[in-house]
Chains A and B, each alone.
Chain A
Amino acid sequence: MVEFLSYGFVQRGLLAGSLVAVSCALLGVFLVLKRLSLIGDGMSHVCLTGVAVALLTSTGPVYMSIPVVMLSSLGIMKLTQKFKIYGDAAIGIVSAAGLSVGLLLTALAGGFNTDLLGYLFGSILTVTTGETWLCVGLLVTVAGGVLAFYRLLVATCFDEAFAHTRGIPTQLVNTILVLITSVAVVLSFKVVGIFLISALIIIPPVSALLVSRTFKQVLWLASGFGVGSVWAGVYASFVLNIPSGAAIILINLCFLFACYVGSKKVRRD
């Protein structure tokens, strides 16, 4: 364990992974309660377009994907609001568009190569110093935002119409939430891979919601599950020589199962 932790790339991977996991968990709590959690799924598919564009133009996939995913997330919001399409359908449409454009561009770029596989399945140990700093910025923004606007966020998630009648700019709150989620999604694809990003946004909050009695408890627990799963997952992948992204999500599923069993017990008592 000590030896494992002595590598610089391991330290960087764990640090970036923890930062991203906490950010995703905090954002996820609000998205799950707003029934918008699948937005992470849609955005992660759009990442493929971003990555493909980066491969085509030989730019950094992370830096290329951030604007692409932000734009598409605004597209999802506009689709839901202007055309009254159900939220899940709007997400499905944007997700399909992201995947197909991504696949098309990938083919143009010369098909699947090892780089691309790394993005699809995650490669936490290749996180760069620059990306780690981005993760620090993300967590500071998310945690700072939750602290500064706690009541406003909870009110908007619970009852948007009423929040509006308290003078809360609910539209703006939603837009900012979705934009920050875009950044979190992009930074997550290094950690768990494009296919599993949404799991990092959905599973820790759902586990926490099962056993918590207060909103603050949910935020703490979800963050804890996120960080715990990254550490345990990376360690398991090191010892058992399995893909780290898959290990992280499987450990999250174990937490979920434990919470489910725990919630049954609590209810019976």
Chain B
Amino acid sequence: MQEVIAARGINFAYTRVPVLENISFTVQSGDYVGLIGPNGGGKTTLLKVLLGLEKAKGEVRLFGTPLAHFTDWHKIGYLAQKSPVAQSRFPISAEEVVLMGLPSSHALRVTRAEIREVYDAMQKTRTREYAGRIFNDLSIGQQQRVLLARALVSKPQLLILDEPSTALDAKSREMFFDLLGELNTHFHTTILLITHDTGEVGKYISKFMYVDKNLVFFGTKEEFCHSEEVARKLGPFAQHTIDHLHNQHGHCPLGATCQECRHG
């Protein structure tokens, strides 16, 4: 199996206070990793380091290539936590935003093939109907769906998503996670996704990574649900929700005191 992301000994600080300490892990091709942790735990920072947006001590390899020499950016789709500068009325339509996700081109004219790919991606995130609208005029949730289309448009082998569903309504969220699940199972797309919604996302994810300055936990969903270290950090309830709602695993860390189990 191919190593898609390999991180060795990542240390990072914005100021003097360390934000990430000695983080090492490997994401294999086909993994669907949920990156969780408290606010300010360093999740967003870790993704930025993996993409070279922040320079950290340690070694990062993407698809086996050291980050400094990595050029196959079309293999990666990225959605940031913060939406791009949106205060000024940037005169650019939603479809032009999605177009930016394709490999950068010097051509002035947009080719037919490019247009097809853009509309395909917009179809997937149900944003076709406002393809021609100005991006900044869209609602936050609509913008997030356009940005998701931009992350998907190059048909990436690795998706790196920073809280992609925060602004989505219940229906869009479900459709979006179904889409990610389908990409993961049918197209073997590797996914690394930050979320606070451990319960809901638990049913799709195969591995969990818990980051709070250090890498507290990295392993499969089953291991996650029975890790005492995670229980100490998260309380048994988060593990339990995942285990209980989506795993039919039977084992509940709360045992007989559990409300959910008795009702379920």
Contacts and interface: CB of A to CB of B under 8 A. Distances in A.
Interface of A: 32-33, 35, 147-152, 154-155, 157-159, 161-168, 209, 212-215, 217-218
A164 B100 contact: no
A134 B56 CA distance: 43
Nearest to A148: B106
Given A33-B88, A35-B85, A215-B92, A165 B51 contact: yes
A214 B135 CA distance: 11
Interface string B79-111: 010001100111111001101110111111000
Nearest to A149: B106
A162 B92 contact: no
A152 B84 contact: no
B92 A167 contact: no
Interface in B15-41: none
B104 A158 contact: no
Contact of B104 (A167, A209, A212, A214): A167
A158 B100 contact: yes
What range describes how many residues of B lie at the interface? 20 to 34
Contact of B106 (A32, A151, A167, A212): A151
Interface of B: 48, 51-53, 71, 73-74, 76, 78, 80, 84-85, 88-93, 96-97, 99-101, 103-108, 134, 150
5 contacts: A33-B88, A162-B80, A165-B51, A166-B74, A168-B104
Contact of A164 (B51, B91, B99, B105): B51
Given A149-B106, A166-B103, A167-B71, A158 B80 contact: no
Contacts of A159: 80, 84-85, 100
A32 B80 CA distance: 23
Contacts of A214: 91-93
A32 to B, nearest CB: 7
A215 B110 CA distance: 14
A184 B128 CA distance: 41
A219 B200 CA distance: 46
A154 B73 CA distance: 18
Listed from nearest, the 10 A-B pairs whose CB atoms lie closest are: A159-B84, A167-B73, A165-B78, A166-B104, A155-B100, A215-B91, A212-B91, A166-B73, A168-B104, A161-B53
Contacts of B150: 162
A53 B84 CA distance: 42
Contacts of B53: 161, 164-165
Contacts of B48: 161
A166 B80 contact: no
A159 B100 CA distance: 10
A91 B96 CA distance: 32
B106 A158 contact: no
Most chain A beta-carbon contacts within 10 A, residue among B53, B80, B90, B100: B100
Given A161-B53, A167-B103, 6 more contacts: A151-B106, A151-B108, A154-B92, A159-B85, A166-B100, A167-B71
Contact of B90 (A158, A165, A167): A158
B71 to A, nearest CB: 6
A207 B52 CA distance: 37
Contact of A218 (B74, B78, B91, B108): B91
